[in-house]
Amino acid sequence: MTYGTASAPYLATRCLQQLAEDDSQDFSLAPETLTNNFYVDDALCGANTTEDALRLQQVLIGLLGRGGFHLHKFCASHPSILEAVPPDCREMEVPIELDSNEGIKTLGLL
């Protein structure tokens, strides 16, 4: 898909929706995240426990990889979740050290 074209946001969203529909039985954690927690190519989601977050992370990486997507700029509030992602895919380093003047942008918001 070519970014910058008028149809790119729609096509990216439609691809995510189709992945959720096609693989909902194999990846029970992913459909809701794919359909409700993405804005074009940015995802913002969470989980109740670190274990659930790690499971969701692995499911999304596997599922999106099959669909030709690549997760990058990955950020998390718990170091073990970040450690499960290759260093070149992280938005921040482990250990997490944010001071009051720092932050992470999501969808252009700090």
Q: Tell me the average pLDDT across 57-78.
A: 77
Q: What is the pLDDT of residue 24?
A: 66
15 or 69: which leads in pLDDT:
15
84 or 109: which leads in pLDDT:
84
Q: What is the pLDDT of residue 51?
A: 92
pTM of the model: 0.70
Given pLDDT bands bounded at 50, 70 and 90, which one contains residue 15?
Answer: confident
Omega within 30 of 0 (cis) for the link into 95: yes
Q: What is the pLDDT of residue 102?
A: 64
Q: Tell me the average pLDDT across 57-61.
A: 83
Alpha-carbon distances of 17 from 13, 21, 88, 92, 99, rounded to whole Å:
6, 6, 27, 28, 37
Given pLDDT bands bounded at 50, 70 and 90, which one contains residue 94?
Answer: low
